[in-house]
Amino acid sequence: MNGDGKSVRAPLPRYTPTVEWTGTALRLLDQRLLPGRVRHIVCGTVDELCDAIRTLAVRGAPAIGIAAAYGAVLAALESPPGEGFAERVSALLDRIASTRPTAVNLFSSIASQRRILSVCQGREEAVAALAEGAGRLVEEDLEASAAMGREGARLLPGRCSILTHCNAGGLATAGLGTALAVAYEAFEQGLLERVYADETRPLLQGARLTAWELSRRGIPVTVLPDSAAATVLSGGLVAAVFTGADRIAANGDTANKIGTFPLALAARAAGVPFYIVAPLTTFDPKCPDGGSIPVEQRPRGEVEFSGRRRMTPRGVDIFNPAFDITPEALISAIVCEKGVLRKPFRDGIAELTP
């Protein structure tokens, strides 16, 4: 209560804790149940973590990478010490790497943990060092998110509304976000009027997750069908589009949730700038262009059914890619923790990711 007897809502935490290490297990905010239910699950084994990643209990490229890093600690904890310990841990890391093919953070985190494992002497040292390495990734991700928020907010022309796709907020990272970090920073500066959030087919991460995050922070949000985005853009309702990314190739081609490519096309036609916001861990300099990025195919049931109700005739073919590739030519700029990359993207990416 304040001095006038009116209730005052306590400020919300700046970060949404998505992935938390308990010391012996990984505690995850189960994103499959949001927004209807807030529940955490505890993964105490590599198999439990792999299931959580595959079924999207944890999702978003940075968050998957962090979960995989702690998965290396789980692998060390459940591997018997002695001769062959490192090989047993490595085999479990291979299992984690097989869960999802597109988000590069998964593979870069595992590679980082493998390097740590290679210099450890015994199980006890490995557990401690791998936990420290994963914790370092969390801190780096939070710092990168804050920096991206500041850099991205500078791109806004003044007080305006923006449009986003899928979920690139705290739920997709260590707790703050990529594209939504821009929204949070802009809102704090008084630059953001409203966020238009595509519902994002087929799993509705925009409607379920982005709208949940923004509304909890008191940011006005309007959810729209993916197919309505072109109308919003051509109608002058937004000044810019900001999306996250799951992998950025050496030339700037970007993989993100399915529907991002047509959104970029619509933005180009409407003359609205289209920005990608992603940390350096999402850049893949070994991948020359978008054609080299593997695109995950999701189960057909996600399109066939809505809950238990069948939505398609039996026997028809289903095409259900989780991601699409946005060519670099449609991207106005790429925001990362080191600043804003302009074209030619290849030069800037090569400089930042030697």
Known catalytic residues are: 246
Say what the alpha-carbon torsion angle 303, 100, 145, 236 is, to the nearest 10 degrees. -30
Q: What angle do CA 328, 184, 261 make, to 5 degrees?
A: 25
Largest Cα–Cα separation, the chain: 69
**Structural contact between residues 281 and 108, judged by C-beta atoms closer than 8 angstroms:** yes
Helix (H) or strand (E) holding 163: strand 160-164
**Structural contact between residues 134 and 72, judged by C-beta atoms closer than 8 angstroms:** yes
Helix (H) or strand (E) holding 19: strand 19-21
CB atoms within 10 A of CB 148: 31
| Per-position b or e across 113-135, b if 16+ CB within 10 A of its CB | beebbeebeebeebbebbbebbe
Q: Which residue has the tokens 């390495």?
A: 133
Burial class of residue 265 (count of CB atoms within 10 Å of its CB; 0-12, 13-18, 19+)? middle
Alpha-helical (H) ranges within 189-297 are 205, 211-216, 229-234, 260-270
Distance CA 243, CA 333 (A): 11
